[in-house]
Structure 1
Amino acid sequence: MHEIMLKIPSKAEYIMVVRLTLSGIAARCGFDFETIEDLKMAISEVFNLFDIEKISDSISIKFEVDRSFLGINIDMPTNEINENELAEVILKTLIDDVEFEKLQDKYRVRLKKYRQGV
């Protein structure tokens, strides 16, 4: 498995950097255009669940590239999450495994998309 780490300032304008990075990684993994667009939408929905402009620390994103899946782990250094049922439904529709974990001083969001036919 390969890991790619990305750390961004907690500013909305950097979400595009995450989406572009995700696009490149997903394309390199062999995902089709539609799946890449789904992944980009899902990552945007994750960021919509948090008021990132109120976060003072950087946001860490780890991409895990495996033969059978692409994993995305996002560490949001905040204790607050915006409850949004629509965003959660969208995530569960677009992503194979979705997990939100509340840790002591942050939320960790884990997304996993499996490759078809592997």
Structure 2
Amino acid sequence: MDQIMLTIPPKAEYIIVVRLTLSGIAARAGFDFETIEDLKMVISEVFNLFEIEKLKGKISIEFNIASEFLDIKIDLPGGVLTDNELAKMILQTLIDEAEFEKTEDGHRVKLKKYHRGV
């Protein structure tokens, strides 16, 4: 399994960096264009759920690439999960697995997208 780490400041203008990085990783992992677009939307919705500008420290994103799936872990320091039903519904529709964990210093979001047929 290959692992790629990315750390960004808690500013909305850096979401594009995460989306572009994800696009490259997902393309390299063999996902099709439509799935890559879905994954980029998922990332945006995660940041909508936590109001990125209100976070209290650097955001860490870990991408793990396996032959059958792409695993993404996002650590959001000081984040408070908002009650955004639309964002949650989009996540449920576009990602295979989504898990939200409360951590000592904020939240961790775990996302998993399987290749078709797996």
Name the TM-score, length of structure 1 as normaliser. 0.96
In the alignment, what sits opposite 2:17? Answer: 17
Give structure 1 regions of 4+ aligned residues with deviation exceeding 4 angstroms.
none
Q: Within 5 Å, which residues of 2 pair with 1:97-112?
A: 97-112=97-112
Unpaired runs of 5+ residues, structure 1, are: none
**SS of the counterpart of 2:83?**
coil
Is 2:39–2:95's contact at 8 Å kept on the other side of the alignment?
Answer: yes
Q: Is the 2:50–2:79 contact (alpha carbons within 8 Å) kept by the matching residues of 1?
A: no
Hey, what does 1:91 align to over in structure 2?
Answer: 91
1:4 aligned partner: 4
Q: Which amino acid aligns with 2:27?
A: A
Q: State the 1:117 CA deviation.
A: 3.3
Deviations 1:69-91 (A, max 9, x none): 00110000014111111111110
For residues 51 and 16 of structure 1, the distance between their equivalents in structure 2, rounded to whole angstroms, comes to 15
Aligned residues: CA RMSD: 1.0
**Alpha-carbon distance in 2 for matches of 1:15, 1:23:** 12
In structure 2, the partner of 1:63 is 63
Q: 2: CA distance between counterparts of 1:102 and 1:49?
A: 14
Residue 27 of structure 1: aligned partner = 27
What is the alpha-carbon distance in structure 2 between the residues aligned to residue 109 and residue 19 of structure 1?
Answer: 16
Aligned to 2:50: 50
State the distance in 2 between where 1:104 and 1:56 align.
Answer: 13
2:41 matched to which residue of 1?
41
Residue type at the aligned position of 1:31: F
Percent of aligned pairs with the same residue? 67
3-state DSSP class of the match of 2:50? coil
- Structure 2 unaligned segments of length 5 or more: list them: none
* Matched residues, number: 118
